Structure 1
Amino acid sequence: MNESTARIEQFLHTDPRDVGCDRAMEMLHIYVDLVAADDGAPARYPGMAAHLRACGPCAQDFEGLLAAVTG
């Protein structure tokens, strides 16, 4: 399997728990606070965790906000 095929396969196999970009952006600040507090956020909110694994732009926003919060 070449890289292009692998990317297409990954895109087509979106986790059904994925909350999508709109919902992720609505809840990102809360999720970041929970992750920063080490409150088990990925286990408590698997749809958010699934989305951040699959969506590069949202994951970048998450990482940036987490860096700002944790300094």
Structure 2
Amino acid sequence: MSGPSELDAFLRTDPRDVGCGEAMELLHVYAELHAADPTAAAARYPGIGAHLRACGPCSVDFEGLLAALER
């Protein structure tokens, strides 16, 4: 960590965050549910939602899946 802002961001990490590994395993399932019912997705997979709020690369993948589902 190189500065106070990075440390602050790390300390604010949601304890429900499941991490990249678990998020990637279930991201396609989460994306399909989110496309149909975002509230249900958030309730069923709170750890994935927490992770996507914290992880830019995983959020980009999620947005890509949502875009593909809209086609």
TM-score normalised by the chain length of structure 1: 0.85
Give the 3-state SS of the residue equivalent to 2:14 in structure 1. coil
C-alpha deviations, 1:37-66, integer Å up to 9, x for none? 115101221101000000000000000111
Aligned pairs for 1:8-23 (under 5 A) are 8-23=7-22
Q: Are residue 36 (structure 1) and residue 68 (structure 2) matched?
A: no
Give unmatched runs, 5+ long, in structure 2.
none
CA distance in 2, matches of 1:5, 1:68: 38
Aligned partner letter, 1:28 = L
C-alpha deviations, 1:12-50, integer Å up to 9, x for none? 221111000000000000000000111510122110100
Aligned partner letter, 2:28 = H
Q: Are residue 62 (structure 1) and residue 28 (structure 2) matched?
A: no
Q: Percent same amino acid at aligned positions?
A: 63
CA distance in 2, matches of 1:6, 1:56: 16
TM-score normalised by the chain length of structure 2: 0.85
